[in-house]
């Protein structure tokens, strides 16, 4: 059983924005060391993907990786005015691999790490606005939330297996594998190879962790995600090949670049780029800066 880590809840509430910033923000420091080769420019469907993390109702808690529910509502209103249509990553997969179609201006809203506030605060807004969200859940966090026996709080808790099942059944959410125990920075940084680790040992570690979480999803929720989200955005070729071998049909990274989705080109679904939505900027500034990248690419 996963040992429950009991923290002073008031202290955790105060520190949560800083903890998220340390965890998520480390990407900007190290991810460039594991960059992907540039994809050739092709004519495809432009698809912006937004990356959110935790949600707050307190403007004093806003941070680089913490946004307010009001900001998300403002974002959705802006996107509606600009005629964007929300889709899942699986809609891209269906378009590329299985003959599906996409709306004229698709956009994806993703939320990393599986915070309980992605359900408690967000569901009502998604329902009201007829929007959808892609959640990347970390296995260890979900196990702890499911087994701790503690009452969940939108201030500091994570989603349980029961939450994931009910959210997915609502039709408003899809779920991605965000690793079981590799969302950490220690001897191994995210999913990267440890120093001195052999290729066989590295592949074994990846399979045990990531396919282990797949089995937990199947046992507890009745499905296996077909999208993998790289912790901290750390990436390497060996990991990507392992994801493909484990039947993941798409992967999500953190590089802030446009995506162009091309029918019958499954490679365009791997290493999808995402724009981090900081709580320290306003809706118009964020989206105008993002759309400049699409205009200039």
Asked if 207 contacts 242 with a C-beta cutoff of 8 angstroms, the reply is: yes
For residues 256-279, average pLDDT: 98
Relative to beta strand 45-46, strand 260-261 is antiparallel
The upper half-sphere exposure of residue 154, i.e. CA atoms within 13 Å in the direction of its Cβ, equals 14
Relative to beta strand 54-56, strand 66-68 is parallel
* pLDDT tens-digit series, residues 132-157: 999 999 999 999 999 999 999 999 99
The upper half-sphere exposure of residue 19, i.e. CA atoms within 13 Å in the direction of its Cβ, equals 11
Would you call 31 helix, strand, or coil by DSSP?
Answer: helix
- Which uninterrupted H or E stretch holds 5? none
Domains and CATH numbers, the chain: 45-178+252-296 (3.20.20.370)
pLDDT score at 185 = 94
Structure tokens at 174: 């899809």
pLDDT score at 43 = 84
pLDDT score at 39 = 63
Structure tokens at 166: 């009910």
* pLDDT tens-digit series, residues 170-192: 999 999 999 999 999 999 999 99
For residues 241-262, average pLDDT: 98
User: Model's pTM, two decimal places?
Assistant: 0.90
């Amino acid at each position: 059983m996963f040992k429950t880590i009991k923290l002073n809840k008031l202290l955790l509430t105060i520190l949560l924005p800083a903890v998220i910033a340390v965890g998520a923000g480390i990407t900007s420091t190290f991810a460039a060391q594991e960059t992907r080769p540039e994809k050739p420019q092709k004519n495809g469907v432009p698809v912006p993907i937004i990356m959110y993390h935790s949600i707050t109702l307190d403007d004093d808690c806003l941070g680089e990786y913490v946004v307010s529910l009001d900001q998300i509502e403002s974002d959705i209103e802006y996107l509606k005015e600009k005629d964007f249509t929300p889709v899942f990553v699986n809609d891209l997969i269906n378009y590329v691999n299985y003959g599906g179609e996409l709306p004229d201006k698709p956009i994806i809203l993703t939320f990393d790490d599986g915070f309980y506030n992605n359900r408690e605060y967000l569901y009502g807004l998604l329902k009201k606005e007829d929007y959808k969200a892609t959640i990347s859940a970390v296995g260890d966090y979900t196990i702890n939330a499911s087994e701790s026996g503690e009452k969940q709080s939108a201030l500091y808790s994570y989603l349980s297996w029961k939450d994931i099942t009910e959210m997915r059944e609502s039709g408003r959410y899809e779920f991605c594998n965000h690793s079981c125990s590799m969302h950490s920075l220690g001897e191994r940084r995210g999913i990267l190879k440890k120093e001195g680790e052999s290729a066989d040992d590295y592949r074994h570690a990846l399979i045990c962790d990531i396919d282990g979480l797949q089995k937990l999803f199947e046992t507890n929720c009745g499905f296996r995600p077909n999208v993998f989200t790289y912790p901290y955005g750390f990436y390497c070729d060996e990991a990507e090949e392992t994801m493909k071998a484990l039947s993941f049909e798409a992967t999500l990274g953190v590089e802030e670049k446009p995506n162009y989705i091309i029918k019958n080109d499954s490679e365009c679904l791997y290493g999808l780029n995402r724009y981090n939505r900081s709580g320290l900027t306003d809706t118009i500034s964020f989206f105008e800066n993002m759309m400049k990248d699409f205009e200039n690419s």
